[in-house]
Amino acid sequence: MKLLFATANAHKAEEVRAILDGTGIELTTLLDHPELGDAPETGDTFEHNALEKAEYVFAKTGLACIADDSGIEVDALGGKPGVHSKRFSPEATAEANNALLLAKLDGVAERSARFRCVLAYVGPDGKRTVDGRCEGRIVTEPRGHEGFGYDPLFVPDEGGGRTMAELSMAEKNAISHRGRAFSRLPEILPG
C-alpha cells in the first residue's frame, strides 16, 4: 500500500521508513511533493495537529495520507513544551530548544518527562488516530549524536541509562513514542 506521509522532516521520515520496513507500506513525503507546501498545525493538541496535517494533504491530493504530531512533555514545566516543542525557543533550532529546556530546568530535581506521538490516517474511507508514548527524564548535559530534536537530553526508562541520541535507530524505534504509534498503523488503515 502507498501512503503520503505529511512531513518535511527528513529524520522523522527515515525513522518511520525503518519502522515500516517489511510491512509492504511505501511512503512518499512532502519532500517528494514540494508543490504541496507546508502542512498547517494550528491546534493545541497532538491529535488536532496530526489530523489537520493529514486532512490538508488529503484535500490537496485525494491520496491516502498519514501524519504524526509529536513532542516532549516535561512535568516540572506543567507539560510544556508539548505541542510547541518544535518552536520552543525563538530560534526554533534543536540546539536553541535544548539550551532553553536546560536553562528552565536549572536546579530542578524533578526531571520526569515523556515523548508523545499521535498518528492520523485520512483517506477516502475516513479518518482515524492512534497514539504512542515513551516515559523518561531530562538529563543535565546533552549526550549522543543520533536521532534529532530533544533526543540528546532525554533518557528513556527502557534505555539502560543512555539518552535517545545514544541509541541506534533500531533501539530508539523499539521503545519510542513514534515507534509505538506507527506499530499500531494497521489498526487505522482501511481493512
Instruction: Give residues in contact with ligand IMP (CB under 6 A).
Output: 9, 68-72, 85-86, 97, 115, 147-151, 164, 176, 178
User: Catalytic one among 38, 44, 69, 131?
Assistant: 69
C-alpha cell at 112: 520526569
Find the residue with minimal CB distance to ligand IMP: 149
What pairing do the DSSP bridges indicate for beta strands 65-74 and 126-138? unpaired
Q: Are 46 and 69 contacting, i.e. CB atoms less than 8 angstroms apart? A: yes
Distance separating alpha carbons of residues 47 and 35, to the nearest angstrom: 25
**Closer to ligand IMP by Cβ: residue 64 or 118:** 118
Least separation, in Å, of the C-beta of 13 and ligand IMP? Answer: 11
**Closer to ligand IMP by Cβ: residue 90 or 191:** 90
Least separation, in Å, of the C-beta of 64 and ligand IMP? Answer: 20
Residue 69 bears catalytic tag: yes
- Looking at residue 191, its amino acid is G
Distance separating alpha carbons of residues 191 and 5, to the nearest angstrom: 19
Q: Are 3 and 191 contacting, i.e. CB atoms less than 8 angstroms apart? A: no
Least separation, in Å, of the C-beta of 178 and ligand IMP? Answer: 6
Catalytic residue annotation? 69
